[in-house]
Structure 1
């Protein structure tokens, strides 16, 4: 719809066009990250073009893993939309790389299944290996007792806390990657702050259990780059960079 001063969308229309729910838009308003800039005489919400730009920023930051509680603080500053689009693109590219790998294998297997050669057991075994790589990696590096401990710890933390940590990791990894690309010294206060938060999240995972901590460290030593390639986790270079920042804080 058109209103004086530009185009406006009602909440239901904006929800339909973006694929979000009306409830989500109401929640964004409740937590203060997106408020409608106008209302109809009857009091119905109206979102303007500036609101649409801000909504994209909220959605992109959520996609990058930033918790809603922190998004308001970020948006209170001067967010560079082009930079945010670039970060979002890089995040999507990492996901696509993992999906392309699996898609290539599935495409080849589908063609083989239709050909005279047919599908061999080795083909299916390879597919299952790729699909279950992460599960196998975990099983290879953690004992049954450690896995049971991690499951208990997950229940103790609660789904909400676990979801918040899982959502924060991609954003933290992206920030560390950005500092590495910029050539920032690991001893720089910005990197040290990132390393401190990195350590806090890792400690939330292992809960101070030395055995679980060592298993996690060994898994990333042996399989870190493969995990990063397939699932978007930190690379070995990134882990070393964070460790240098930690060491600089201790010296």
Structure 2
């Protein structure tokens, strides 16, 4: 048990509470970033409050775009939690400003297009500028190495496979929504099968790379409402439902 005698979490519980995967937590342990404070007699990992604080620093530094080896060096120097929180807050506020600006511009252009049937070139130029700025937001979620890896995966998969996966998402989302509406337990075999396919489609995106998976989940978590509104993506409740189905293994 942790020396402070405080609350403890098993690896599965910690994964559910944080939204990370068990595999990611194991990976952090393998590279020396997060080691469980103790183990049960049966060998199950136990994480304490100090581990949670360290895990937050790892997640915050990853979001700031730092690779895991650099994070390890920083944490070896006892990185300050207050400083990490302040940096994280500044990054989130920066993203919010950009998203709100783009949303306002798009809403104004939609209203103009609906009322007049056209938009002025100057307005479109402004929108292009805003979209280009949004690329900076993407760069905040994915490092240059990750973007290069995504491009490699895109070429390896081929446009046909990518198009097929994109076309499957709406049907899969509709099936999951139907089970949610019916009140089906996430542990039901039907839901678990849907969750398995869900994770398979995500796997096609991140290829099992822990960093890409985390960046994808973080980007969605912080922009879920816009993604849902603009492209019919899954709601946060649906993501939680699928997570419970996967945890039922």
Q: TM-score, normalised by structure 1?
A: 0.49
| TM-score after normalising by structure 2 | 0.49
Bigger CA radius of gyration: 1
